[in-house]
Amino acid sequence: MKQVEQQSQVAWTQHLLNWYDVHKRDLPWRESKDPYRIWVSEVMSQQTRIEAMRPYFENWVLQFPTLESLASAEEDTVVRAWQGLGYYSRARNLHQGVKEVVETYGGQVPRSRKEMESLKGVGSYTAGAVLSIAYNLREPAVDGNVLRVYARLYNIHEDILGTVGKKVITSLVEDTMPYDRPGDFNEALMDFGASICIPKTPRCESCPLVQDCKAKAEGTEQVLPIRIKKTKVQSVQLYVGIISTVDGYYLLHRRPKEGLLQNMWEFPSVEGGTAESRKVELIEGLQSIGVTVTMERPMAKEVTHIFSHRKWTMKGYRGEATEVAIDMPNPIVLEGDEAVQQAVAEGQIIPLKEDWILCRKEAFHVLPWAGPHGKFIDLC
């Protein structure tokens, strides 16, 4: 069984190489096996389409034809030559990495993965690409292209953006790489992924591996690869006012009926802007509900709270309510909960306008607190 599996692996890798021999893209950095040029082309092709980067590559090797010429150039000159490609840190890292090769390796791009990956800006993919293409070493170069192609060929339903998916596929690439033409094999995968097994709609009708493809056999070629994107967490700074009156009440706000922490109680707060602009916004906002405050120093406590999509960094500021208008129009309606009604009846809670109240610390426990704000209660 194992032997049959190995034979079929040999079959598809050979089919791929046969296809590559006919359809290989004609690219300027493929004219030689110069590791420096291959390195430059790999760095340039990150985040840039091959066709768009071609003229940049040609100009680059005119200006810096050798590793030494790039190493001895001024950084400004290097960055200027990169203009139009964006992501200037890539140019600076390449420049730095090339200098390291000159200083540490006598101008010879190292032949070991460990040494390659120790160079500035060189990651696992670039190291694998340079070592396999320039030196024909059997080193995988696994990028998004390769992950997609293998996920389909082997019908792998692991998330290719996750550690497990990457590990499974990298190990498959290591197992299936041919011994005789590893560089060509990596380049063949690049070309195949760019022209046949493309991201959304693979061109299976023209695919030389259609008989070898497990996803095609199972009908999952449109579903694969699985990519589970992590949600970006938005960072928000909050200015939180712990504002009390001279007779021991604290100013509290009920959050809106919809959205995050709906209907829960919080200290007055403002998000975004600078600390100063948030302070002004808070003071003006409270004036509109008839409360005049003076804000004092920041408190020592800072609270961080992470929701699924947001991260709040909350800094508490102590303040004093010097004037509070009690009988404003549109007073808050506190209905339902018996404990709240009792606290109102006993004068522990004083309803104000809209969604605001004054509340003594002793009555805090009758209110449902917005969790992150509850962390400031011990400072009251």
Positions marked catalytic = 42
160 near ligand SF4, judged by CB under 6 A:
no
Which pair of structure tokens corresponds to residue 287?
A: 């004036």
Question: Among 156, 196, 282, 367, which residue interacts with ligand SF4 (rule: CB under 6 A)?
Answer: 196
* Residue 194 is a binding residue for ligand SF4 (CB under 6 A): no
User: Which residue of 207, 270, 340, 352 would you call a contact of ligand SF4, by CB under 6 A?
Assistant: 207
Q: Taken in order 24, 25, 29, 35, is the CA torsion positive or negative? A: negative
* Minimum gap (Å) between residue 41 Cβ and ligand SF4: 25
Q: Residue 30 CB, nearest distance to ligand SF4 (Å)?
A: 23
Counting contacts by CB under 6 A, is residue 79 touching ligand SF4? no
- Report residue 266 as tokens: 């919080």
DSSP 113-161: HHHHHTSTT--HHHHHHHHHHHH--------HHHHHHHHHHTT--SBTT
Question: 5 vs 58, which CB is nearer to ligand SF4?
Answer: 5
Among 40, 215, 363, 366, binds ligand SF4 (CB under 6 A): 215
DSSP 8-state symbol, 10: H
* Alpha-carbon Rg for the chain in angstroms: 32
How many residues at the interface with ligand SF4, by CB under 6 A? 14
Question: Which of 2-10, 88-96, 207-215, 245-253 is the region at the interface with ligand SF4 (rule: CB under 6 A)?
Answer: 207-215
Alpha helices in the chain (DSSP H): 2-23, 35-45, 50-63, 67-71, 75-82, 88-105, 113-117, 124-135, 144-153, 163-176, 182-195, 214-218, 275-287, 338-345, 371-374
Out of 37, 99, 152, 279, point to the residue binding ligand SF4 (CB under 6 A): 152
Is 203 or 361 the residue whose CB approaches ligand SF4 more closely? 203
CB of 200 to ligand SF4, least distance (A): 11
Contact residue for ligand SF4 among 35, 110, 202, 225 (CB under 6 A): 202
Give the shortest CB-202-to-ligand SF4 separation in angstroms. Answer: 4
Asked whether position 209 contacts ligand SF4 by CB under 6 A, the answer is yes
The percent of the chain in helix, strand and coil, each rounded to the nearest 5, is 45, 15, 35
Phi/psi of residue 291, each to 5°? -115, 125
Q: What are the two backbone dihedrals, phi and then psi, of residue 268, each rounded to the nearest 5 degrees?
A: -60, 135
Could you give the string, one character per residue 234-273, with x where binding to ligand SF4 holds by CB under 6 A and - elsewhere? Answer: ----------------------------------------
CA 91 – CA 266 distance, rounded (Å): 49
The minimum distance between CB 219 and ligand SF4, in angstroms, equals 10
Q: How far is the CB of 208 from ligand SF4 (least distance, A)?
A: 8
Q: What are phi and psi of 319, to 5 degrees?
A: -150, 165
Amino acid identity for residue 378 in this structure? D
Contacting residues toward ligand SF4, per CB under 6 A:
152-153, 196-197, 202-204, 207, 209-210, 213, 215-216, 221
